[in-house]
């Protein structure tokens, strides 16, 4: 279940009020390791000597991202022990063509030809024209619209150039159609959005 924005605001206010009225106290406040086993980190105060040490060590470093400055990755400019050029080539060979999990029997060349054909272009513009250059899912109008095949291109050869099997979609709705798990990052389809 998700709280509405209104409910979330109310909860946040109630918690804030409880803190203000001292009804709610952070559980770790004023406690040390001896008081509560949940406290595992450093809870005391550093001595000036320790502070100076920490400070000197941090100088010139970007805290939080050790790779940004003042730190050289241990493997920089060193050859990878396993992923050598030879290894890469072998893996690439072992996983390409008919060995690839998504190999569909060498249809790419044929598809490329078909998809770039005049016939396909005509089909695509007929679909877009029929839908008045508007995404049929979110109502987006503009550039980069795609004529989507309702019944998949690969499985329904006879419907490849059937305008009734086409649907105008914007890029993000098209992406969502094919990869519902990826989604578009939108919670609600807006009237207009960039593609």
Token reading at 141: 């109008």
Note whether 145 binds Zn ion by CB under 5 A: no
Distance of closest approach, residue 120 Cβ to Zn ion, in angstroms: 21
Note whether 173 binds Zn ion by CB under 5 A: yes
Considering only residues 65 to 104 of the shown chain, the ones binding Zn ion according to CB under 5 A are none
User: Hunting for tokens 């006879």 — which residue is that?
Assistant: 158
**Of 90-98, 99-107, 123-131, 169-177: span binding Zn ion (CB under 5 A):** 169-177
**Sequence-distant (≥ 6) Cβ neighbours of residue 186 within 8 angstroms:** 172, 193
Instruction: Tell me the number of residues near Zn ion by CB under 5 A.
Output: 6
Mapped onto helix, strand or coil, the DSSP state of residue 166 is: strand
Note whether 135 binds Zn ion by CB under 5 A: yes
For 91, the enclosing helix (H) or strand (E) is: helix 85-94
Distance of closest approach, residue 166 Cβ to Zn ion, in angstroms: 15
Nearest residue to 151 (alpha-carbon basis) of 138, 162, 141, 143:
162
- Give the chain's radius of gyration (CA, Å): 30
Of 140, 146, 147, 176, the one binding Zn ion (CB under 5 A) is 140
Of 123, 127, 138, 160, the one binding Zn ion (CB under 5 A) is 138
In contact, 159 and 165? CB cutoff 8 Å:
yes
Of 146, 167, 170, 176, the one binding Zn ion (CB under 5 A) is 170
Binding site for Zn ion (CB under 5 A): 135, 137-138, 140, 170, 173
């Amino acid at each position: 279940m998700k709280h509405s924005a209104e409910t979330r605001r109310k909860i946040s206010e109630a918690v804030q009020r409880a803190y203000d009225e001292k009804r709610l106290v952070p559980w770790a406040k004023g406690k040390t390791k001896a008081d509560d086993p949940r406290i595992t980190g450093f809870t005391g105060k550093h001595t000036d000597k320790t502070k100076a040490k920490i400070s000197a060590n941090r100088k010139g470093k970007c805290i939080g991202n050790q790779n940004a400055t003042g730190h050289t990755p241990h493997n920089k400019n060193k050859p990878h022990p396993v992923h050598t050029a030879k290894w890469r080539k072998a893996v690439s060979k072992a996983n390409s063509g008919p060995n690839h999990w998504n190999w569909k029997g060498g249809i790419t060349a044929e598809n490329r030809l078909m998809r770039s054909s005049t016939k396909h272009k005509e089909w695509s513009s007929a679909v877009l024209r029929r839908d008045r250059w508007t995404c049929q899912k979110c109502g987006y109008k503009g550039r980069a619209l795609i004529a989507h095949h309702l019944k998949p291109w690969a499985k329904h050869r006879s419907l490849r150039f059937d305008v009734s099997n086409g649907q105008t979609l914007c890029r993000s709705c098209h992406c969502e159609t094919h990869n519902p798990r990826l989604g578009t990052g939108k919670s609600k389809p807006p009237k207009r959005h960039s593609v």
